[in-house]
Amino acid sequence: MVENIKAFLDAKVAQYNRPEFIENDPVVIPHLFSKKQDIEIMGFWAATLAWGQRVTIIKKCKELITLMDGAPYDFIINHQEPDLKKLLNFKHRTFNDIDTLYFISFFRYHYESFDSLEDAFLPTTLLKTHQSINAEIALNHFRSYFFSLPDYPHRTKKHVSSPSQKSTCKRLNMFLRWMVRKDDAGVDFGIWNRIKPADLICPLDLHVDRVSRKLLLINRKQTDWQTAVELTERLRQFDPLDPVKYDFALFGLGIEERWGVQF
């Protein structure tokens, strides 16, 4: 049974983990850039805004890029106060201009000290002791660090989740997948090296949750962080070094199910 599910999911990974997947997925946004920092910034933003229709998500991300003069990193590092005025009307669902301006403040603060956004996910105490950094540790640290600026708006906290809140952290796990996973398929970037693909947690959205339960990969009744961990542990049985590659398969099967394809 396990071997049959693995073979089935491996085939679906091969079907969906390919450049054709990019066009209609939010991952298309960071693929518009070649500079590492632009990929990180717009990857994070695309993941944050990834709720609702994918066409709308992509459209709003492109609008945001235009408002930052097509060069997010340069804009964030070099903008003057008057340059921010054009961002005051940006909105996507509950994400508004207050959130946008705080994101810009955080990115400027971070990149003034670090070359990569990966450092925002890495507790220095663990780095010094050379301990491995799993996704739970990384995400809890990131949220604490992200809201460490003294003027952070309380309303923005709803846009950045963490395992400590028992959230599935779907968007952040998707962002980590984009930055960390390494293969030759051309979808994920693999530009970070200190967090390992083996330590990632599978993004758990409605499609992935539904399909995983249908395939008996999830037993837990509720859907929370521990559910995402349970799913990932099952997927590690199929590939211990790269369990979240099966996100492509599970998400793709969810889309097929919406189209009426049975499995």
Q: Domain-by-domain residue ranges, the chain?
A: 2-258
Q: What is the pLDDT of residues 135-165, one digit of tens each?
A: 999 999 999 999 999 999 999 999 999 999 9
Give the bridge partners for 95, in sequence order. Answer: 92
Q: How far apart are CA 194 and CA 127, in angstroms?
A: 9
Q: How confident is the model at residue 115, as a pLDDT?
A: 97
Q: Among 172, 171, 113, 168, which Cα is nearest to 141's?
A: 172
Model confidence over 101-143: pLDDT tens digits?
999 999 999 999 999 999 999 997 765 555 668 999 999 999 9
Residue from 106, 103, 242, 203 nearest 159 by CA: 103
| pLDDT tens column, 62-96 | 999 999 999 999 999 999 999 999 999 999 999 99
